[in-house]
Chains A and B, each alone.
Chain A
């Protein structure tokens, strides 16, 4: 029994290898012919000659693709059905199994699947996880693949930066997102304030909104690192910088306990203590924030275009009252550029085929549509030039933010910081008054540096 299974896998592997070898000797012209070939053989209904077919287009395989869940599952499924159909024109015998996994448990699901040897062939990765999985050795080197596509350039920079580890590319940008200030024009008018541009403005506006309206002004909530961390930049600080250590190695060094950073965190937590949000906001996440803004209980928030759509779905009345502006800032007003990259896994048995599928996902044919559908921006510069992004008034404010925006330090430990909620507990401790901002941020810096030292 066992012997048979071994023999079979051995056989199928060698067939795959043959096909793979054949694949690399192909040129693009033959590929197209093969497309026709495939149709013909399909018509005749015989697939006897699969090994003799040089392009490997008749290869039988199963690709597993993991994509993060979106707001509208049916549309997402439909989109991937079309991508797969297009893919099957060249590779009729490859079945593609696309699974949608929830964002919240995705990091852990990926970790467990890698550990268990059952990683997918392709997965969408939150950009901040890319360095972590690359450092683990879980991802396939994309340099040659991207060179084959002729796509070495033309990616959104902030995303390409986090996909690069040890000067090697371990993922390709798929879509990018950036948060901006979203406000309720009616509440701001009622309070008689303008859209804040600095943090002094924000504080004054907040006080006026508290005094003159029923709404809470600003989401200084306990559970959202994307609200807190960019403020460290805005006050002139840094999250971490790369320095030379005594051995001449380049290492990350945390900066979150420097005075500018502490000042930023203090400002944020003071807004909570001042009552800019209800007491319960100590445990609010982005989802609770959206709910409050949709119910018009909150005058301002920080969100992405898809977040705005979600809030309008929740309460259509607010559609005409929504305004978007760049984030307030003192030294800078850079927003965090996040989004997703697509990566191939080292464990994949069908890297060539998976790369072909990946190429379709980032092609002009498909990438803009997905970005538009998810409410993000394409990860390719070519995709960004699409008029649907540059000519829409609201979207162009977000697009500007994308160009000015920054990513978090591209350290392999960063994904773990997020997994551990490293930036949640300290903020909550300051809000509860059990620690000062300096004490809490000293702890965070220490934990960050401990992690950096093991890289």
Chain B
């Protein structure tokens, strides 16, 4: 009896704090999304119930779908970019060579770099007139990059932001996978070698299948992070040019704090939540299948 409740009692303070800090805002957002809450409400606290009108207005707005498409395509690109970069770096670090320990620590630097500071640095690197990126590209003979305006079209702007996000998020993935590699017994690889497996077989037939649960967790985390990217985009383009690099998080923020439509902003946030849940449910389905497979 005592044993059963003890963990809960010990966890209670932290749990209560977390619940208070997440559950209240969550319910408040749900509540606001059904109301017309604008700058007058801000002062008076009075808002009117408008039912689903925030949702219908959002869902019938073509711009919302543009932003959603941006979020999904860009978010998934970042997830895959981060996972692939993280995996490659982890494999590299896993081969014991001189200085791999040092390299492992150096690689963490982008990850501890504050997002805003990183955004400012990258924006400078890709400045059309004074940026180091254009300078280097023209130095190696690509003259069309002389004064190339990276942030003039959503495509090239998103490209720059993509590289920055991958650069900032791959270290975490790499370090997590590296830790995962350590858990796989060497005997498996030795056995495979006797059967004539090459390096590629070892990775695809042993390493990745063994790490499937870890990979799924990392996929879920990356998806959550990359679907709610805000600071880097805000710092680098502020959603420009011509609102071309808007993603849902930025859109929701802008509705709230620029347009002061808190109801609308909450509705967008809720739709973003639904979208994320959809992706996560898919991941979890794969994870469950894994366990079910053992039973079958």
Contact = CB atoms under 8 A, between A and B. Distances in A.
A419 interface: yes
Given A108-B257, A115-B42, A420-B259, A278 B149 contact: yes
Interface in A272-294: 278-280, 282-283, 292
Interface stretch (B198-206, B209-217, B237-245): B237-245
A432 B152 contact: yes
A278 B128 contact: yes
Contact of B240 (A115, A279, A283, A292): A283
Interface string B112-137: 00000000000000011100000000
B187 interface: no
A283 to B, nearest CB: 5
A-side interface size class: 20 to 34
A424 B152 contact: no
Interface string A125-153: 00000001001111000000000000000
A42 interface: no
Interface string B19-53: 00000000000000000001110111000000000
Contacts of A416: 39, 258-260
A13 interface: no
Nearest to A454: B38
Contact of A279 (B39, B152, B242): B152
Contact of A137 (B40, B152, B238, B240): B40
A89 interface: no
B147 interface: yes
A111 B259 contact: no
B151 A425 contact: no
Contacts of B159: none
Contact of A223 (B39, B44, B240, B259): B240
Contact of A419 (B128, B153, B259): B259
B175 to A, nearest CB: 34
A115 B256 CA distance: 12
A428 B42 CA distance: 32
B254 interface: yes
Given A428-B241, A434-B242, A138 B151 contact: no
B-side interface size class: 20 to 34
Nearest to A440: B242
Nearest to A292: B129
A157 interface: no
B241 A222 contact: yes
Given A282-B149, A420-B254, A434-B242, A136 B128 contact: no
Nearest to B151: A283
Interface in A63-106: none
A114 B262 CA distance: 14
Contacts of A111: 39, 42, 257, 260
A420 B259 CA distance: 6
A41 interface: no
A263 interface: no
A428 B239 CA distance: 12
A282 B258 CA distance: 22
A260 B39 CA distance: 33
Contact of B43 (A136, A282, A424): A136
A137 B151 contact: no
Nearest to A412: B39
Given A137-B44, A278-B128, A283 B258 contact: no
A429 interface: yes
Interface string A394-438: 000000000000000000000010011100111011001010000
A420 B243 CA distance: 11
Interface centre among B43, B240, B242 (most CB of A within 10 A): B242
A432 B40 CA distance: 37
Contacts of B40: 135-137
Interface centre among B44, B243, B258 (most CB of A within 10 A): B258
Nearest to B238: A421
Contact of B149 (A114, A280, A424): A280
B198 to A, nearest CB: 49
A313 interface: no
Contacts of B151: 280, 282-283
A235 B269 CA distance: 42
A108 to B, nearest CB: 5
Given A114-B42, A138-B43, A432-B241, A280 B128 contact: yes
A425 B42 contact: no
Contacts of B152: 279-280, 282-283, 432
A420 B254 CA distance: 7
B157 to A, nearest CB: 9
Contact of A421 (B39, B43, B128, B258): B258
Contacts of B149: 278-280, 282-283
Interface centre among A136, A138, A419 (most CB of B within 10 A): A136
A203 B259 CA distance: 36
A259 interface: no
Contacts of A223: 240
A197 interface: no
A330 interface: no
Given A137-B40, A280-B149, A280-B152, A429 B260 contact: no
A280 B243 CA distance: 16
A112 interface: yes
Interface string B130-167: 00000000000000000101011100000000000000
Interface string B222-242: 000000000000000110111
A137 B45 CA distance: 12
Pairs A-B, 10 closest by C-beta atoms: A280-B128, A280-B149, A428-B242, A419-B258, A425-B242, A420-B258, A429-B242, A137-B43, A279-B149, A428-B241
Interface of A: 108, 111-112, 114-115, 132, 135-138, 222-223, 278-280, 282-283, 292, 297, 416, 419-421, 424-426, 428-429, 432, 434, 454
Given A278-B128, A432-B241, 18 more contacts: A112-B257, A114-B42, A135-B39, A136-B39, A136-B43, A137-B40, A137-B43, A138-B43, A223-B240, A279-B147, A280-B129, A283-B237, A416-B259, A425-B241, A425-B242, A426-B242, A428-B241, A428-B242
7 contacts: A111-B39, A111-B260, A279-B147, A279-B149, A283-B152, A420-B258, A420-B259
